[in-house]
Amino acid sequence: MSDSAPDTSGTSALRGRWREALLAARGGKSLAPDPEPYADALLARWAEPQRRYHTTAHLTQVLDRVDTLAGHAAEPALVRLAVWFHDAVYRPDRSENEERSAALAERALPEAGLPDAATAEVARLVRLTVTHDPADGDTNGEVLCDADLAILAASPKEYAAYAAQVREEYGFVPDDAFREGRAAVLRQLLELPRLFRTPHGAAEWEPRARQNLTTELELLTR
């Protein structure tokens, strides 16, 4: 994706997934307000030109992973809404993206017909992606964080593409500074006692993710 526009394919399917999640979170009782304008506004954000990894392709992949893990979540519809908002505000040169994304959810979801308690849970989940460290028993948080980090367990080719896209998003950072910062992030991840909290994530994704992280760190520091 290095010289191409962010992937905006499959937007019709994504609109359907947004509608399904929002109606489920609203209890499926009403079609008003119309979910479509909210989907379009979010999709426009996910297609912004500064994005290389955090595109609609990433949105789709995380939603797919939530589908895999949904049985573990207490409120899978709210987790899916949190996926839509977790990188809705994304500027690589700023550090408050998650907070601004959560605030966007707090503004948009009540207008879209979501009850206050459900809105608060979605915003909490979005803020959790700052640390990806859900408390034990926070099954909604475990599913969201595992789904977001599942890229770490991709095939070596897919992981290399992900790492290259991240580098492109931080193209304004000099090479030496990027290598130092990225290496620190990788070491922090590798020092965690576990990357994934769901049973599926721990069994299926943890070993390959650690291998990918170790390989990238070796390439950055040799």
pTM of the model: 0.93
Dist. CA 81–CA 18, nearest whole Å: 7
Dihedrals phi, psi of 80, to nearest 5 degrees: -65, -40
Q: How many helices (H) and strands (E) does the chain have?
A: 11, 0
Contacts of 176 (CB under 8 A, 6+ apart): none
In 10 A of CB 210, how many CB atoms? Answer: 17
Quick one: pLDDT at residue 27? 87
Regions in the chain scoring below 50 on pLDDT? 1-8
| Residue in 152, 92, 98, 95 with CA at minimum distance from that of residue 125 | 98
